[in-house]
Every structure is written in structure tokens, then in C-alpha cells.
Amino acid sequence: MSNSLVRNGALALACIGAAACGSAATTVRSYGLPGGGALELAVPLRWQEEIGWSEDDERPTITFRPESGAGFLVRIVVLAPEPSAGEEFASSDRLKALVESSARASLGVNGGADLRLERIGEDAHVVGWYYSVVDSLMPDPPPEGAFAVMTQGASSASGFVLTATVLTRKQWGDDLSDAVSMLRTARVGEGPGDSWRVPGPIVKVRGALGQRYDLTLPDGFDVSSRAPLVARHLATGALLEVDVADRESHASARDELRRIESELEQRSPGSILLRRRGVTTLAGKPAADVEAVDELRDEQLRVVAVPLEDATLTLRWRVHPREYAAAAPILRGVLAALTLTPE
């Protein structure tokens, strides 16, 4: 395997040995689809599933985990074509373009980088593409609950599009191979899905854009998630993350300062250089404000946290040090544009 390091060396495009057939014994599981019919997948026997809704647009999702432990996670989102959609909706060219766009946004690379896309399938039933990246700074083995490899892709089955994210702890092994093999088995049948395999009630997440806060991003951002908000500034590669999480109801801005410093130290032990810390104002409320350099990951950070009545809104800004000066006015504009919704 050869890696092509990008940006700060933390993420590398990887050629992962997932092309071989899956090793696990499987059973066909059938999931009902919007408008009728069912998605059929040959799933490894001991994989546990959770069926729900995507956080941003309420599309059906299927999440797979191992029978015990946290060795991997596979999440599939099902996208049904609109009535007016043509064959291009699930075409190989469109899927490849979607995966390429996702890869460049995730890695912050320009149009000239070799993304090493791999085929999921190319037959009458399934067509699709995927890529894998490895976090070269992740300890081996990764800490409990952490993953070293992320694989993302998109494939089609009878006009439906499946987007998939696979998180694994190792670059080599059966977990990723089994996941890609499962995607290759995707079929859409006319009958109903298994009656017990249906999404539960829709539960709105608290951290979605437009729920606890509003933010209009300036031009030049590529948004990959809205719950929590994850967006990359294409010109500088700066990554913006905004999330809302439950905290102690009476946490203060100074309490959040200590939390931020603790989280940074846990993320990169002994490698955090504080540049500035204190209390500022964000959206009219007192907020913890920390600026630091992460020497291990070669990033400059700005973290701002606003205690709310029953939660904390945290804004994280990460950028390569050489781009920090160019990205600073972009961040100032983002901070000025963020507003809180009434509690």
C-alpha cells in the first residue's frame, strides 16, 4: 500500500484491500423503501443494525455495528429519486462526481490530487465508487471508540442511491471488505420489507443548524453536514464545526474554558500551545474563547463555547498555521453572523 499525504499529514489517501470478497457468512435482510418496494442486502450474520432517519433531511438510514465492542461502524443513507429524476440520478458518472466532491471536501485537496477512487460495482444491478483515508496520527491500536480509517462512497440499486460511511480501526482486515461486499449485493425488490425493520420515530437532534442557532455562511464554504454543522472553507482549507451538546445547566464561560483545554489536551497530549484564552461575547452571550496551536497535528485552532440554559454551543475552527492569517477575517465574519434562537 502507498499513501499520498495531504495538507498537514494527518490524513492520507489510502489504497485499502477491500476489493476481495467478504469473508463473513451472510443472510439477506429486507428494508422497506419510501413509495414501496424493499432494499435487500446480504448482511454478515452477527452484524447488529439500527434503523432510523438521517439527521438533516429525514431519509431512511441503516447503521451496522459488531455484535460486541466498537470495532467498526457502517452507516447507509437511502436516497430515493424524485418523480422527475431521470436515469442520470443514479448514473456511474454522477455517483463518481459525488464521491470525488466528498473526498476533496473531507481532505481539503484541489482538483489535481489523485483520489484513487475504487469501484463498488459495475454490473446490471449495482454501480458505485468509494475512497478511503487513514488518520496517520491515530495511535495503533486507536483508543476505545476511535477509528483510524474512514471510507465513504455512493452506489445505486434499481434507481435508488445509497451513500455509505464505513469507520474501521485498521487499514487491513475483514470489516471494510465485508462492508463493501455488502454494498455490492444491494438489490431492490417489489415486495414489502421485513415488517420489523422499519425506522423508529423521527427524533430531532439539538445541534442542527436552524434549531438552537442560525448562521448564513459566506461564499466559498462547502457544507458536508448540518447536524452538527461541518463546513470547509475551500480557499484556505479551514474546517468549521458548530455543535450543541448537553452540559451542566449552570455551566459558566469559565467552566467551558477548562473543558476546552481538557479536550484539546486529550486530543493531542503534550502538544498544545495556548496562544490566548479568556471570556468573550458570542451572539450576545458570555463565551469561552481559546486560541491554540496543535503541534502534533500541525493545526492552529480557535474554539468558542457559549453556555446555554441546558446545553453548550461550541464552535471549532481548525486551519493549517500558514493559512491562519488568511482565514482569520473569514472566521470573524462567521462569528459576527451567528445568532442564537430564543430558548
pTM: 0.57
List the chain domain ranges.
3-189, 213-340
Q: How confident is the model at residue 135 (pLDDT cuts 50, 70, 90)?
A: confident
Look up residue 31 and give its three cell numbers. Answer: 428494508
Instruction: Report pLDDT digits (tens) over 263-287.
Output: 898 888 888 999 999 999 999 999 9
Instruction: Report pLDDT digits (tens) over 32-57.
Output: 887 778 899 999 988 988 888 765 55
In CATH, which superfamily holds the domain spanning 3-189? Mog1/PsbP, alpha/beta/alpha sandwich (3.40.1000.10)
How many Å apart are CA 279 and CA 288, to the nearest integer?
Answer: 5
Q: Are 99 and 117 in contact (CB under 8 A)?
A: yes
pLDDT at 125 over 90: no
- The burial of 329, by beta-carbon neighbours within 10 Å (0-12 exposed, 13-18 middle, 19 or more buried), is given as exposed
Instruction: Report pLDDT digits (tens) over 191-242.
Output: 888 887 877 654 445 667 777 899 999 999 988 777 788 899 999 999 999 9
At 267 the three-state DSSP class reads helix
% of the chain residues with pLDDT over 70: 84
Q: Are 229 and 209 in contact (CB under 8 A)?
A: yes
Same fold, 3-189 and 213-340: yes
How many Å apart are CA 144 and CA 320, to the nearest integer?
Answer: 27
**How far apart, in Å, do the first and last CA atoms of the chain sit?**
52
Q: Which one-letter amino acid corresponds to residue 22?
A: G
The structural architecture, per CATH, of the domain 213-340 is 3-Layer(aba) Sandwich (3.40)
